[in-house]
Structure 1
Amino acid sequence: MVSPGTLDTRGSDFARLSRQITDAGLLDRRHFYYAVRLSVIGAFYLGGWALFVWLGDSWLQLLVAVALAVVFAQFGFVAHDLGHRQVFSSRRPSDLAGRLIGNLGVGLGWGWWTSKHNRHHANPNHEDHDPDVSPAVIVWSTEQVARSRGIPRFFAKYQAFWFFPLLTLEAWHLHVASVKALLKPSVKRRGLELTLLATHFVVYFGVVFAVLPFGKALLFLIVHQGLFGVYLGSTFAPNHKGMPILTKDDELDFLRKQVLTSRNVRGGWFTDVALGQLNYQIEHHLFPSMPAPNLRKAQPIVERYCAELGVSYLQTGFVESHAQALRHLHEVGADLR
């Protein structure tokens, strides 16, 4: 729970910041940037699978699995940006490109994930409303530990040590959750998404098992999907894990709700590329539709503005961000130890 001293409900604070960001042109679309980014990732995607077919029955395929895990994650970052309409201002091209990249390209239900992710943005780190802190396996607060049963309670005792091993299953979890969501008749464009998702799995498993003998094919899948999950998890975990968990008793205005629950990861161009620019998580949560390359330019403006307001603004290195998240997970499970 956030301490009472940080609570403030002055809605005009965000409006003033928003005017600064808008005047700086940081909400303007960056079509050329995304055209280049998609072309580069698409080339690596097609090149990776061409190399896979060319190598054939070889142990070098494990290196291809590593490379494709990185490419799949990078495609995931672009799908994320499409979901926030950072690429196109209108829904139709965003939906079309998102489904092609998400469902067909990497096997993730784009419509389901976008809906879930938008609920996270509306109430980040909120026990009751943020699906990303629901205690499905990992528990995020002492209150959740007290209420936990079954699998979450089993892992909670030493969940900091289980965290990265569990991330190797994250990609498989997202695939299964995507299929389960699309089996519900209420999902929009359900037929299209199911067709694209089924096509991905048929082609993906078909190519892997056609090129490799059964044992190597299984090992390829374990390495590829395992690293894909670890990469995604290592990108999203530093953003909010270990930051304040909100409850129904916390009343925060929009700016404070987003800033106080988010953490930036400090770094240069490599960090920006590797993390899909989501290392500027505070700026992203304040302005979800801001094109990714503009987040770096918005960062000093937002940090300076928060300092003027006296709002805590946290920015750490990559290793320290994970250390803070893991320390929090370990502390949460202390009562069970």
Structure 2
Amino acid sequence: MRPAARRVTNDYSVLARVVRESGLLRRRLGYYWTRFVLTAAALACVWVWVVLLGESWWQLALAAAMAFVLAQLAFLGHDTAHRQVFRSRAWNDWAARILANAFVGLSYSWWTTKHNAHHSAPNQEGQDPDIAPGVIAFTRAVLASRRGWRGWFARRQGWFFLPLLTLEGLNLHVKSVRTVLGREPLPHRWVEAPLLLTRLALYVGVLVVLLPPGLAIAFLGVQLAVFGVLLGGAFAPNHKGMPIVPADAEVDFLRRQVLMSRNIRGGWLIDLLMGGLNRQIEHHLFPSMPRPNLKRAQPLVREYCSQLGVNYTEVGFFTSYRIVIAYLNDVEHRARDPFTCPVASQYGR
């Protein structure tokens, strides 16, 4: 290996050693147990108010509150799935499996498979499922394949992006059910299928028992819509509009994670709404780092990237959405220039 190539591949190792020696990878059990208890209490409180309020259209406000609490549970499931919480791998995996299936109504195995693929190759064509062909066209190749009304929609899709997020909650549930009932191999299907299906059935059943049919449907619709916006709104600003990597490109780990990720500035409210994912660069570099430590790691990562000359992107919350919408409305031009591997010349390729 050439000296320049060796230096580039060692860049992450140097940063990882600094972070590890700083103690930022240590578990934060007090923080997480506090969040578990408070979130569970909030969920119970919402259900109590649903019972007490009865037949009232104010139930729709409780539906939004329910969506917020379920999103917080999903973020805790995300953290445990990344093994941020417990020292034991099994404890993290089973906590995430129970949180996802029994409380949130999402398949743990489906989500981890998809999410791990995203982490290994963010924004890389053919590898990152988050930019795979779907309702939204994220790349020029997908955009070029759209004809007729689909092509018309794809060239204006940025304006539809936020409204479409209201359907994301329903979409996540549907994909989860298809996964646990499908024929593809699924670890612990005997656990996931009963937990997931029972949770979804009980949730709808309790609403129908407690509320008149019309109000129950409205409650479920508002909850799913707000839930979709909260989850989609936490993930979308972090990579959309960042460089798209060709399928055959080779990029070292540090640059792959930093150059394709975007941090979102903000205080405690943004931290809460985005479940810590607003520090996406640090999360991608150190997926197992406890959520509260990401803020402490940020100055170290930013300074190190500055020393290496690696672009570190951080913008405000509303600015991030302006970037995303503008990109989606003009994928043909904004994704025109191919991604140039930032270390290609150093490798002599």
Question: Shared fold (TM-score greater than 0.5)?
Answer: yes
Measure the CA separation in 1 of the matches of 2:211 and 2:331.
44
Aligned to 1:313: 312
Closer, same or farther: CA 334–262 of 1 in aligned 2, 3 Å: closer
- Identify unmatched segments of 5+ residues in structure 1: 1-6
Closer, same or farther: CA 266–195 of 1 in aligned 2, 3 Å: same
Amino acid at match of 1:204: Y
Instruction: Give, in angstroms, the shift of residue 182 of structure 1.
Output: 1.2
> Could you tell me the TM-score, scaled by structure 1's length?
0.94
Identity %: 48
Instruction: Give, in angstroms, the shift of residue 16 of structure 1.
Output: 0.3
Closer, same or farther: CA 48–83 of 1 in aligned 2, 3 Å: same
Residues 1:268 and 2:249 aligned together:
no
Aligned-partner SS, 1:10: helix
Aligned to 1:145: 143
Instruction: Give, in angstroms, the shift of residue 152 of structure 1.
Output: 5.5
- Does 140-149 or 14-23 show the bigger shift? 140-149
1:146-225 equivalences in 2 (<5 Å)? 146-148=144-146, 153=151, 155-185=153-183, 186-225=185-224
Amino acid at match of 1:92: A
Measure the CA separation in 1 of the matches of 2:285 and 2:182.
32
Work out whether residues 261 and 280 of structure 2, in 8 Å CA contact, stay in contact via their aligned partners in 1.
yes
Aligned to 1:327: 326
Amino acid at match of 2:209: A
Aligned to 1:245: 244
When the two structures are aligned, how many residues end up with a matched partner?
329
Work out whether residues 125 and 246 of structure 1, in 8 Å CA contact, stay in contact via their aligned partners in 2.
yes
Residues 1:230 and 2:229 aligned together:
yes
Instruction: Give, in angstroms, the shift of residue 153 of structure 1.
Output: 3.8
Work out whether residues 77 and 100 of structure 2, in 8 Å CA contact, stay in contact via their aligned partners in 1.
yes
Measure the CA separation in 2 of the matches of 1:240 and 1:8.
28
Aligned to 2:346: none
> Could you tell me the TM-score, scaled by structure 2's length?
0.91
Measure the CA separation in 2 of the matches of 1:151 and 1:123.
31
Measure the CA separation in 2 of the matches of 1:241 and 1:127.
13
Closer, same or farther: CA 151–306 of 1 in aligned 2, 3 Å: farther
The one of 67, 74, 79 aligned to 1:76: 74
Aligned to 1:122: 120
Instruction: Give, in angstroms, the shift of residue 157 of structure 1.
Output: 2.1
Stretches of 4+ aligned residues off by more than 2 angstroms: 147-155
C-alpha RMSD over aligned residues: 1.7
Work out whether residues 30 and 291 of structure 1, in 8 Å CA contact, stay in contact via their aligned partners in 2.
yes
Measure the CA separation in 2 of the matches of 1:235 and 1:8.
36
- Identify unmatched segments of 5+ residues in structure 2: 335-349
Closer, same or farther: CA 160–80 of 1 in aligned 2, 3 Å: same
